[in-house]
Amino acid sequence: MIAYVTVGADDIPRARRFYSAFLPDLNYGLKEGVEGLSFALPVTSGQHPVSPDFYVKPTFDGRPASSGNGTMVAFEAYSQSQVRDLHAAALAAGGFDEGQPGFRADYGPNFYVGYLRDPQGNKIALFSSNPDEPGRDG
């Protein structure tokens, strides 16, 4: 099980603006400290986390942060309309479009996804595969 994902950022306030545009709508809470941003889903007493935390941090070695070629972090939305709304909110908060929300021929008939780059260049996917919504073929 993946426990957490970390991406680097040189400009933490800019990263906060971008990620805060959509992660709270997916129930992620934000804790901010000198070490950067920590986004986590709520955990009730006695429950173990089931999804990974997401961290945005300055680099440990002090060199500029860079995005990985082929690296992507995907966040699951509740519906196709939420994918569209969150994609638009992330763009308005300083993100860059990497693929408008929609179905992709290479994926399952209910996989609806939009792609972004955060201000640092990290690739982010927002997707829904809700079987109760219309699929690619219908």
116-133 pLDDT, tens digit each: 999 999 999 999 999 999
pLDDT at 1: 67
- Phi, psi at 72, each rounded to 5°: -150, 145
Backbone angles phi, psi at 51, to 5 degrees: -120, 155
Which residues fall within 8 angstroms of residue 97, CB to CB, at 6 or more apart?
Answer: 87, 91, 115, 116, 117
pTM equals 0.90
Domain annotation for the chain: domains and CATH numbers = 4-128 (3.10.180.10)
Helix (H, G, I), strand (E, B) or coil at 8: strand
Instruction: Report pLDDT digits (tens) over 24-50.
Output: 999 999 999 988 999 999 988 888 877
* Residue 138 predicted with pLDDT over 70: no
84-118 pLDDT, tens digit each: 999 999 999 999 999 999 999 889 999 999 999 99
